[in-house]
Homo-oligomer: A and B are copies of this chain.
Amino acid sequence: MKHNFYAGPAVLDRTVMDEAANAVQSFQDMGLSILEISHRSKQFVAVMEEAEALIRELLHVTDDYAVLFLTGGASSQFFMAPMNVLSSDQTAGYVDTGTWSAKAIKEAKLFGKVNVLASSKEDNYKHIPEVTVPSGLRYLHLTSNNTIFGTQFHKWPETDAPLVVDMSSDIFSRDIGDINQYGIIYAGAQKNLGPAGTTLVIVRKDLLGQVDRELPTMLDYRTHIAKGSSFNTPPVFPIYVCMLSLRWLKENGGIKVIETRNESKAKVLYDEIDRNSLFQGMAREQDRSLMNVNFSVTDPNHEESFLKYAAEHDAVGLKGHRSVGGLRASIYNALKPESVHHLVQLMKDFEAQNA
Contacts and interface: CB of A to CB of B under 8 A. Distances in A.
A226 to B, nearest CB: 14
A196 B236 contact: yes
A183 interface: no
Given A103-B217, A217-B106, A237-B238, A17 B24 contact: yes
A2 interface: yes
A75 B32 contact: no
A195 B76 CA distance: 22
Given A71-B72, A216-B79, A314-B31, A236 B20 contact: no
A73 B232 CA distance: 7
20 contacts: A1-B32, A9-B35, A9-B37, A9-B39, A12-B33, A12-B35, A17-B24, A31-B316, A32-B316, A35-B194, A39-B196, A71-B235, A72-B72, A73-B233, A75-B231, A110-B214, A110-B216, A196-B234, A196-B237, A235-B238
A36 B216 contact: no
Interface of A: 1-2, 4, 6-12, 17-18, 20-22, 24-26, 30-33, 35-39, 71-76, 78-79, 83, 103, 106-107, 110, 188, 190, 194-198, 214, 216-219, 231-238, 241, 314, 316-317
Nearest to A44: B9
A316 B107 CA distance: 45
A39 B197 CA distance: 11
A53 B217 CA distance: 33
Contact of A233 (B9, B11, B30, B231): B9
Contact of A107 (B38, B188, B217): B217
Contacts of A12: 33, 35-36
B73 A197 contact: no
A286 to B, nearest CB: 29
Contact of A25 (B17, B38, B74): B17
Given A39-B196, A233-B73, A31 B1 contact: yes
B107 A216 contact: yes
